[in-house]
Amino acid sequence: MTTQPVIAIEGITHAYQTDTGPLPVLHDISFDIAPGGFTAVVGPSGCGKSTLTKLVSGLLKPDSGRVILDGKPVTSPRPTVGMAFQNPVLLEWRSILRNVLLPLEIVRGHGLSREQAEARAHELLTLVGLSGFEHKRPSELSGGMRQRASLCRALIHRPSVLILDEPFGALDAFTREDLWQIMFKLRIEQGVTCMLITHDLRESMFLADEVIVLSDRPAGIQHRLTVPLGQDRTIEDLYKPEIVECLAELRRQIQIAQGRRSATEEAA
Ligand SMILES: Nc1ncnc2c1ncn2[C@@H]1O[C@H](COP(=O)(O)OP(=O)(O)OP(=O)(O)O)[C@@H](O)[C@H]1O
Ligand SMILES: [Mg+2]
């Protein structure tokens, strides 16, 4: 028996309509993410990665193809999807706890009483190492702490799907590695199905089960790599010879994608 994927992307193609005509961005992209799975998407800057997150979350409609989440085609944004971006955008006039609880004020039918909601927020804040910071304002926290709070906010309503668009991109290297470990723990303990967009190949290898390399615009799937790491991974695993080899292959694939762009630009 095959398990139904939580995220199924079926042949999506999308172009933006601009003043100078259509700008084809994505072409015939298909992949699935199994329940509790984690797929990272990498590719040249401007190839259409954020566009893909908007199509999966229902913020944009594809020109053709479809996205199926939890067995149902996506036609508009859904409360069962959590999102986190490069800029955590926490509300300065609210405490960290009240920022984390915010989605519950918007999402109807979550079924949590105020006490249960606060207990869940405390549980998540403890998981990410922010216990004791519940009543601080966002400006009293470091960038890494703010991003950890935004991950709690994205997970508070128990979404089945978490979409991450470069959430660790603005952090320094050490904070980023801390956040990878926290994200991996969240992923396992919350059982959420994740799609991550990143520019950082080590990040993609540390967090994901599969890495998808997109070609340049209009982007298709250029390469897929299964990460040879289990659920007990550590940062040190990134130095294992087989992982170093996978990273070299990913780097090579990105260079091919970028090379195609230079070749096209030269020809123009
Ligand atoms: N609303 C829009 N209208 C027109 N063009 C757009 C719009 N949004 C994005 N684009 C264009 O579509 C292309 C893909 O953009 P997108 O943001 O998806 O790329 P990306 O892969 O996320 O880039 P980056 O790696 O820099 O974040 C770019 O050329 C961008 O300029
Ligand atoms: Mg982007």
Residue 214 lies in a domain: no
- How many angstroms separate the alpha carbon of residue 186 from the centre of ligand 2? 23
pLDDT of residue 1: 60
Question: Residue 19: which H helix or E strand, with range?
Answer: none
What's the Cα-to-Cα distance from 74 to each of 1, 105, 144, 199, 250, rounded to whole Å? 25, 23, 32, 27, 30
> For ligand 1, atom 16, which residue shows the shortest CA distance?
48
Residue 100 lies in a domain: yes
Residue 179 lies in a domain: no
- How many angstroms separate the alpha carbon of residue 199 from the centre of ligand 2? 9
Q: Is the CB of residue 45 below 6 angstroms from any atom belonging to ligand 1?
A: yes
Residue 128 lies in a domain: yes
pLDDT of residue 262: 57
Residue 146 lies in a domain: yes
Residue 117 lies in a domain: yes
Residue 130 lies in a domain: yes
Answer yes or no: are the C-beta atoms of 118 and 199 closer than 8 Å. Answer: no
- How many angstroms separate the alpha carbon of residue 17 from the centre of ligand 1? 12
> For ligand 1, atom 9, which residue shows the shortest CA distance?
51
pLDDT of residue 86: 87
The count of domains in the chain is 1
CB under 8 Å to 64, separation ≥6 — which residues?
A: 11, 12, 13
Q: Where are the alpha helices (DSSP H) in 107-141?
A: 114-127
- How many angstroms separate the alpha carbon of residue 87 from the centre of ligand 2? 12
- E-strand stretches of the chain: 7-18, 21-33, 38-42, 64-69, 72-73, 81-85, 161-165, 193-197, 210-214, 221-226
Q: Which two tokens stand for residue 86?
A: 């490069």
pLDDT of residue 7: 98
Owning domain of residue 96: 86-158
pLDDT tens-place values along the chain, 268 residues long: 678 999 999 999 999 999 999 999 999 999 999 999 999 999 999 999 999 999 999 999 999 999 999 999 999 999 899 999 888 889 999 999 999 999 999 887 778 889 999 999 999 999 999 999 999 999 999 999 999 999 999 999 999 999 999 999 888 888 899 999 999 999 999 899 999 999 999 999 999 999 999 999 999 999 999 999 999 999 999 999 999 999 999 999 999 988 765 555 555 5
- How many angstroms separate the alpha carbon of residue 233 from the centre of ligand 1? 33
Q: Which ligand is nearest to the CA of 15?
A: 1
> For ligand 1, atom 10, which residue shows the shortest CA distance?
16
Q: Is the CB of residue 25 below 6 angstroms from any atom belonging to ligand 1?
A: yes
Check residue 58 and report its DSSP letter. Answer: T
Q: Is the CB of residue 96 below 6 angstroms from any atom belonging to ligand 1?
A: no
Residue 228 lies in a domain: no
pLDDT of residue 3: 85
